[in-house]
Amino acid sequence: MTPLDRGLDKARVLIEALPYIQKFAGKTVVIKYGGHAMLEQDLKEKVMLDLLLLHSVGIRPVVVHGGGPEINSMLTKVGKESHFIRGLRVTDKETMEIAAMVLVGKLNTDIVSMLNRFGGKAVGLSGMDAQLLQAVKKPMQMQNSQGELEDVDLGFVGEVEQVRPGILTTLLEQGYVPVISPLAGGEDGESYNINADTAAGEIAKALKADKFLLLTDVPGVLRDVENHDSLISVIEEKEIPKLVEEGVISGGMIPKVECAQEALQGGVGSVHILDGRIPHAILLELFTDGGIGTMFQP
């Protein structure tokens, strides 16, 4: 390939992206950042560059990050076992302190530092800053051996009760990229750990985001989980119950799809579940004709 051919290929990519850049300029995009894209250095850097490109062309990205594997690793180092119920971490006082240390003290700082090193204007927050996220203790019931419902104590696991997005609006208007750890304060004075998907969805609803992207370790919704070519590119909200009934949406995908559905019902323009293990997944989903994940729309 000659230098001219390479240059023409780059020009074609930019021309394909142009209508999407024009369409999304000035719009708010909430990105839930998690999975392998947070663990591998090369993927981390590509996600940061994607975010900076969005910001540079006038899109307003808001990042909400998880940190489950890193919390597990730290708990192991201090000799503490991780327990989960229905995918939620049972969080006693010590676990809550470790989760806050990892999420705010390490991961949030690392993301902000990397964005700023690449030329961005990132600001790190937790859901407790400016009362961004207010939570209550998450209730849960499970059947016992007699088939009766019993209350289950998850500890300091929270359910978002209210979002006060004022701090985010201020930062976005000033040209900053907010990076948020999924912790919340309660009226009882306690701190609560929030599922990162849920926190991101609630923030997307509060901001009436144009798009909400969930970076995962799966390609999206597959009609046949054994066949990656069976990806469903677009799903309308009304189609979700039928796909659940048919078993197309099942297992760990159900809570993500429920999160997507709630976001759509809360006024978010569209929700995208995409594979964060693919380099530049965000750009491929937003700026190319084909996209790479599953888009949910009203």
Is 189 flagged in the annotation as binding?
no
User: Looking at residue 283, what is its pLDDT?
Assistant: 94
Is 164 flagged in the annotation as binding?
no
Is 108 flagged in the annotation as binding?
no
pLDDT per residue rounded down to tens, the chain (298 residues): 788 888 888 888 889 889 999 999 999 999 999 888 898 899 999 999 999 999 999 999 999 999 988 998 999 999 988 888 877 888 999 999 999 999 999 999 999 999 999 999 999 999 999 999 999 999 888 777 777 788 888 899 999 999 999 999 999 999 999 999 999 999 888 999 999 999 999 999 999 999 999 999 989 999 988 888 899 999 999 999 999 999 999 888 888 999 999 999 999 999 999 999 999 999 999 998 878 999 999 9
pLDDT-above-70 percentage for the chain? 100
Dist CA 204 CA 64 (whole Å): 10
pLDDT tens per residue, range 175-210: 999 999 999 999 888 999 999 999 999 999 999 999
User: Looking at residue 59, what is its pLDDT?
Assistant: 97
User: Looking at residue 287, what is its pLDDT?
Assistant: 93
Give the full edge-to-edge strand order of the sheet including 183-185. 158-163, 133-137, 183-185, 191-193
Is 67 flagged in the annotation as binding?
yes
pLDDT tens per residue, range 64-84: 999 988 998 999 999 988 888
Model pTM? 0.93
What is 30-297's CATH topology?
A: Carbamate kinase (3.40.1160)
- 273: buried, middle or exposed (CB in 10 Å: 19+, 13-18, 0-12)? buried
- 37: buried, middle or exposed (CB in 10 Å: 19+, 13-18, 0-12)? buried
User: Looking at residue 82, what is its pLDDT?
Assistant: 82
User: Looking at residue 13, what is its pLDDT?
Assistant: 83
Dist CA 291 CA 140 (whole Å): 37
Q: What is the DSSP string of 123-155?
A: EEEETTGGG-EEEEEPP-EEE-TTS-EEE---B
